[in-house]
């Protein structure tokens, strides 16, 4: 029996599993002859792009029912390392460890928001995981139960990029007008990497949401009730929420291949490593070229397609078939702006197509429908038709 092991139960890992199973079925290979195993330390696919809305039950999709439907094995475990020279995955469990051997590996272990090297950063919240978003929700619920005026409440969101913008505008929608909201960043421009077309829309939305913007600010420490800036100024705050960017999973350090500044492994056009053709990389751990000029972003939009190609190519690699070159030339952005609606853009230059209520309708469709995997009850054949690259 041959086997494909997939590390990671996020968008890239799950789509890789579905794609590999679809190609296995297309080739008429029995699961007894080609086993596919997905390994994750979380029993659910978390709708991480939605966590700025708050941690809601429908943002967790159980993995096992879908994997059972497509005859992919599920191993609930924590991966602590990969020994690619021996084709081994090292797992850590409560009281012991074990290793799994693979014939092909798909690394899709995702990303995390690292803690900034700022004194007292542990006092801050984040929405990087479902559990952390729940913890922040509990804080907000405590505010809502308070008696009296909330005008003395200030929430600071650190990071004026995609997640920070969505979070701070959503907080205005959730908390109303009484709470003061501050958006901070060391950069001199809000959402600088989002481009010139989006900037005026974002600034207008932040103004409509009465968000105080402070740019070019370097924070030196975070206290329980204050922020301290490099110049010595102190800002009283009730809570600090970090939304300061992502770093690739530390499992990328198991491989010698070149990495980018975010720790992502630089892959070739087939999503494998030049010095290790038995390993494919997908999702937030992959620095891949979506077209001739643009690298992928750490987003579910790219993770799902990277997963599909990695799953397909892993099966092809094992069975002597032709690998397919990854391409994803169509790109779109939809940024939620809370009570100001949302903005939908197309193309790498992010040309604005929809704003306000029309943009919001598009964002809801993306968040509540498009990013979700197929439902297990539609059956394996229907899932394979949806996912297959063949």
* Span 212-226, pLDDT tens digits: 999 998 999 998 889
Question: In which domain, by residue range, is 149 found?
Answer: 121-242
Please tell me whether residues 16 and 109 are part of one structural domain.
Answer: yes
- Give the separation between CA 30 and CA 27, rounded to whole angstroms: 9
For the chain, what is the mean pLDDT?
A: 95
- Give the separation between CA 196 and CA 203, rounded to whole angstroms: 11
Please tell me whether residues 141 and 211 are part of one structural domain.
Answer: yes
Least confident of 43-57, 96-110, 291-305: 96-110
Give domain status of residue 55, yes or no: yes
DSSP string, 207-251: HHTTEEEEES--EEEE-SSEEEETTS-EEE-SEEEE----EE-GG
Least confident of 44-53, 114-123, 357-366: 114-123
Q: How confident is the model at residue 6 (pLDDT cuts 50, 70, 90)?
A: very high
Q: What does the pLDDT read at residue 373?
A: 98
Pair 372, 47: CB distance under 8 Å: yes
State what percent of residues in the chain have pLDDT above 70: 98
- Give the separation between CA 208 and CA 70, rounded to whole angstroms: 47
**3-state helix/strand/coil string of 193-210:** HHCCCCHHHHHHHHHHCC
Give the CA angle between residues 73, 79, 83 to the nearest 5°. 100
| Residue that terminates a domain, selected from 174, 208, 242 | 242
Domain count within the chain: 2
- Give the separation between CA 189 and CA 160, rounded to whole angstroms: 8
pLDDT surpassing 60 at residue 147: no
**Over the stretch 152-161, which tens digit does the pLDDT of each residue have?**
899 999 999 9
- The CATH number of the domain holding residue 44 is 3.50.50.60
Please tell me whether residues 200 and 264 are part of one structural domain.
Answer: no
Q: What does the pLDDT read at residue 123?
A: 87
Structure letter (DSSP) for residue 296: P
SS3 83: strand
Please tell me whether residues 105 and 132 are part of one structural domain.
Answer: no
Please tell me whether residues 235 and 184 are part of one structural domain.
Answer: yes
**Higher pLDDT, residue 161 or 143:** 161
Q: How confident is the model at residue 8 (pLDDT cuts 50, 70, 90)?
A: very high
List Cα–Cα distances, 46 to 10, 112, 149, 178, in angstroms: 7, 13, 35, 31
């Amino acid at each position: 029996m041959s086997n494909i092991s997939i590390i990671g139960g996020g968008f890239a890992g799950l789509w890789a599993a579905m794609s590999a199973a679809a190609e296995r079925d297309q080739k008429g290979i029995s699961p007894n002859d080609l086993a596919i195993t997905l390994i994750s330390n979380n029993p659910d696919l978390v709708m991480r792009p939605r966590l700025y809305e708050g941690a809601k039950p429908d943002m967790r999709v159980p993995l096992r029912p879908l994997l059972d439907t497509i005859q992919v094995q599920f191993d609930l475990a924590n991966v602590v390392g990969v020994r690619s020279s021996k084709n081994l995955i090292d797992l850590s469990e409560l009281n012991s460890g074990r290793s799994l051997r693979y014939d092909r590996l798909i690394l899709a272990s995702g990303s995390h928001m690292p803690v900034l090297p700022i004194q007292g950063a542990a006092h801050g919240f984040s929405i990087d995981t479902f559990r952390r978003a729940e913890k922040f929700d509990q804080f907000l619920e405590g505010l809502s139960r308070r008696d009296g005026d909330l005008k003395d409440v200030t929430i600071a969101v650190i990071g004026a990029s995609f997640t920070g913008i969505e979070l701070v505008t959503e907080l205005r929608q959730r908390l109303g007008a009484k709470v003061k909201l501050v958006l901070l960043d060391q950069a001199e421009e809000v959402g600088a990497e989002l481009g010139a077309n989006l900037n005026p829309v974002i600034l207008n939305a932040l103004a409509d949401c009465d968000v105080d913007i402070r740019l070019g600010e370097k924070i030196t420490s975070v206290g329980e009730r204050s922020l301290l800036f490099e110049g010595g100024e102190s800002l009283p705050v009730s809570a600090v929420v970090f939304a300061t960017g992502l770093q690739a999973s530390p499992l990328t350090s198991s491989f010698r291949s070149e990495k980018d500044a975010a720790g992502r492994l630089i892959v070739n056009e087939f999503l494998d490593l030049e010095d290790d053709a038995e390993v494919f990389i997908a999702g937030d751990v992959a620095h891949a070229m979506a077209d001739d000029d643009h690298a992928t972003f750490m987003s579910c939009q790219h993770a799902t397609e990277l997963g599909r190609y990695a799953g397909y190519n892993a099966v092809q690699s094992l069975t002597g078939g032709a690998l397919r070159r990854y391409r994803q030339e169509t790109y779109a952005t939809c940024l939620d702006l809370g009570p100001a609606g949302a903005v939908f853009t197309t193309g790498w230059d992010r040309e604005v197509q929809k704003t306000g209520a029309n943009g919001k309708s598009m964002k809801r469709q993306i968040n509540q429908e498009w990013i979700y995997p197929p439902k297990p009850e539609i059956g394996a054949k229907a899932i394979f038709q949806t996912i297959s690259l063949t």
